[in-house]
């Protein structure tokens, strides 16, 4: 993308989205920072970001945001699809309405944003789409099945899209963070703790909750800025990688899962979660 092309970032009210918008602004980009509640972006507005309301589960909201950027610049230079959250719990027990809502944000909203920016990118003959996935799109932990499913979907969507749009000068990049200290961990942990009394999975829920809380407090967890740095690299590098795995611990786990195979990984997960 050209140096003066605008960058549209979803989910900027906190965490990775906020840090990404800040880093892009510091690098000199025109940044359109978005969130469902634009008043949550006042700090970014004061530092030079253009602020827009954008709810990735609302068609009119998505169209309006993209059209605002295109009206001023002709096309979105780079789209950073960051908006997302996690629904956790045993596969059997998670309410499917909650699963559908998660997929609306993590998968369908992300995919629709890609659809909306691509005509302008094709006309411009260039563009970049950076999809924030997760190491959870490459491996699965117990109680995370529905969340991981959404991230596996993001991986598949991005792999197909990357090949389809390359002839038009558009690059598609996946950023796959490991444990990052944001509100994500607290929200997911709350879901684990909210199981029905007497659940057959009560022990698993309780121990998974403990493991998750300890993991997000551990040295393996990193600050959102490390993901933001990877996103900035993905946006600015002339020939970006197809994937950026973020944090050393995430790289180790992804490679371990790849090399270990299903049976070894399953055994390790049963031991880690005290499942016999």
Q: Which of 32, 134, 150, 151 is catalytic?
A: 151
| Residue 95: CB atoms within 10 Å | 11
**What's the distance, Cα to Cα, between the start and end of the chain in Å?**
52
d(CA 229, CA 240): 13
Phi/psi of residue 162, each to 5°? -60, -40
Taking only the tens place, the pLDDT of each residue in 62-74 is: 999 999 999 999 9
User: Would you write out the chain's pLDDT as a tens digit for each of its 276 residues?
Assistant: 776 899 999 999 999 999 999 999 999 999 999 999 999 999 999 999 999 999 999 999 999 999 999 999 999 999 999 999 999 999 999 999 999 999 999 999 999 999 999 999 999 999 999 999 999 999 999 999 999 999 999 999 999 999 999 999 999 999 999 999 987 655 655 567 566 678 899 999 999 999 998 988 888 899 999 999 999 999 999 999 999 999 999 999 999 999 999 999 999 999 999 997
Q: How many domains in the chain?
A: 1
Q: What is the CATH number of the domain that holds 36?
A: 3.40.50.720
98 forms beta bridges with: none
d(CA 93, CA 231): 35
What contacts 269, CB < 8 A, 6 or more positions away?
Answer: 141, 142, 275
Any catalytic annotation for residue 218?
Answer: no
Q: Please report whether residue 125 resides in a domain.
A: yes
Q: Please report whether residue 235 resides in a domain.
A: yes
Contact (CB, 8 A) for 8 and 63: no
Any catalytic annotation for residue 152?
Answer: no
Residues 187, 62, 35: CA angle, nearest 5 degrees: 40
Q: Which domain holds residue 115?
A: 7-272
Q: Please report whether residue 149 resides in a domain.
A: yes
Q: Which of 133, 150, 158, 189 is catalytic?
A: 133
Any catalytic annotation for residue 233?
Answer: no
Q: Which of 32, 88, 147, 216 is catalytic?
A: 147
Q: Please report whether residue 2 resides in a domain.
A: no
Using CA atoms in the order 128, 134, 135, 139, what is the torsion angle rounded to 10 degrees? -110
| HSE (side-chain half, CA atoms, 13 Å) at 137 | 24
Q: Please report whether residue 1 resides in a domain.
A: no
């Amino acid at each position: 993308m050209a140096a003066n092309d605008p960058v549209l970032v979803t989910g900027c009210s906190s965490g990775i989205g906020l840090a990404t918008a800040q880093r892009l602004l510091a690098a000199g980009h025109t940044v359109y920072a978005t969130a469902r509640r634009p008043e949550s972006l006042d700090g970014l507005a004061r530092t030079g970001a253009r602020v827009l309301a954008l709810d990735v589960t609302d068609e009119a909201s998505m169209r309006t945001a993209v059209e605002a950027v295109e009206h001023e610049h002709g096309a979105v230079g780079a789209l950073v699809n960051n908006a997302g959250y996690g629904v956790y719990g045993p596969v059997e027990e998670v309410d499917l309405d909650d699963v559908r809502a998660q997929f609306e944000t993590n998968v369908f909203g992300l995919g629709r944003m890609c659809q909306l920016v691509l005509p302008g990118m094709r006309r411009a003959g260039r563009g970049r789409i950076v999809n924030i996935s997760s190491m959870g799109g490459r491996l699965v932990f117990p109680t995370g099945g529905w969340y991981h499913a959404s991230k596996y979907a993001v991986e598949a969507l991005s792999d197909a899209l990357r090949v389809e749009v390359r002839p038009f000068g558009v690059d598609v990049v996946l950023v796959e963070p490991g444990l990052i200290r944001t509100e994500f961990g607290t929200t997911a942990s709350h879901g684990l703790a909210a199981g029905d009394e007497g659940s057959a999975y009560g022990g698993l829920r309780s121990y998974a909750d403990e493991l998750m809380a300890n993991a997000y407090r551990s040295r393996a967890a990193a600050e959102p800025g490390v993901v933001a740095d990877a996103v900035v690299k993905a946006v600015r590098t002339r020939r970006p990688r197809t994937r950026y795995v973020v944090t050393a611990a995430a790289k180790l786990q992804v490679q371990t899962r790849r090399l270990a195979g299903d049976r070894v990984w399953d055994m390790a997960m049963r031991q880690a979660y005290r499942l016999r």
